[in-house]
Chains A and B, each alone.
Chain A
Amino acid sequence: DARVTQTPRHKVTEMGQEVTMRCQPILGHNTVFWYRQTMMQGLELLAYFRNRAPLDDSGMPKDRFSAEMPDATLATLKIQPSEPRDSAVYFCASGPGRAEAFFGQGTRLTVV
């Protein structure tokens, strides 16, 4: 059963620490999305990649966030330094190129 895998599922960290979230997209999917979900802002698109190249990361705070795809089986989202306002659920999704998105279970980040 193909699925998007995100690790870790939960992360609690102290303010100022670096956080790395990982995503394994579904094999064969060429599009990867990163979303952030909060009660106040809902689902926000942070960045997305096609064929490992970043197409749009305008939704991401550039000073502390970075997203990469070192290879076709791994996407990473890093926050350095983390702040309490970064607390949210971060979702990775992958798609087969026709804008469909299959979501992972998310990483629940709490920055204290």
Chain B
Amino acid sequence: AQSVTQLDSQVPVFEEAPVELRCNYSSSVSVYLFWYVQYPNQGLQLLLKYLSGSTLVESINGFEAEFNKSQTSFHLRKPSVHISDTAEYFCAVSYNNNDMRFGAGTRLTVKP
């Protein structure tokens, strides 16, 4: 069955520390990969996406993710986090340009 696994439900880090949020997917066909962020009482916002081309994709606020086909992973990283990055982060996968499936989410808490 096609699935998305976010390995960590909660990640606490101190401000200015690096962070990696892990995401693995199961698939043997072409996939599109996404990271979404959700702030309290809001909808999900697209953070970054991989559709094709360069395997390293970046967002405007310093996050990046790398598509690793051999490891079926799409981990999200940021070299230095801010308090304002505290949110829930969801990895999502679309198989064959069809429906979009989400992981369980990772709650990132940035402490001062």
Contacts of B102 in A (CB 8 A): 35, 42-43, 45
Contacts of B103 in A (CB 8 A): 42
Residue A65 lies at the interface, judged by CB distance under 8 Å to chain B: no
How many residues on chain B are close to A (CB under 8 Å)? 22
B99 touches A45 (CB 8 A): yes
User: How far is A102 from B36 in the complex, measured between Cα atoms in Å?
Assistant: 10
Knowing A48-B99, A91-B44, A103-B45 touch, does A98 contact B90 (C-beta < 8 A)? no
Over the window 26-55 of chain B, the binary record of Cβ atoms lying under 8 Å from chain A Cβ atoms (1 yes, 0 no) is 000000101010000011111001010000
Residue A25 lies at the interface, judged by CB distance under 8 Å to chain B: no
B46 touches A100 (CB 8 A): yes
Over the window 86-109 of chain B, the binary record of Cβ atoms lying under 8 Å from chain A Cβ atoms (1 yes, 0 no) is 000010101001111111110000
Contacts of B94 in A (CB 8 A): 99
Over the window 40-67 of chain A, the binary record of Cβ atoms lying under 8 Å from chain B Cβ atoms (1 yes, 0 no) is 0011010010000001100000000000
The residue in chain B whose Cβ has the minimal distance to the Cβ of A43 is: B102
Number of A-B contacts (CB under 8 A): 54
**How big is the A interface, by class?**
20 to 34
User: How far is A103 from B51 in the complex, measured between Cα atoms in Å?
Assistant: 19
* Nearest chain B CB to A88 CB, angstrom units: 14
* Nearest chain B CB to A25 CB, angstrom units: 13
User: How far is A88 from B98 in the complex, measured between Cα atoms in Å?
Assistant: 25
Contacts of B32 in A (CB 8 A): 98-99
Contacts of B36 in A (CB 8 A): 103
B46 touches A43 (CB 8 A): no
User: How far is A35 from B101 in the complex, measured between Cα atoms in Å?
Assistant: 10
B99 touches A55 (CB 8 A): yes
User: How far is A106 from B38 in the complex, measured between Cα atoms in Å?
Assistant: 12
Find B104's partner among A33, A42, A99 (CB 8 Å cutoff).
A42
16 CB < 8 A contacts A-B: A33-B99, A33-B100, A42-B102, A43-B90, A45-B99, A45-B102, A91-B43, A91-B44, A95-B100, A99-B32, A99-B94, A99-B99, A100-B46, A103-B43, A105-B42, A106-B43
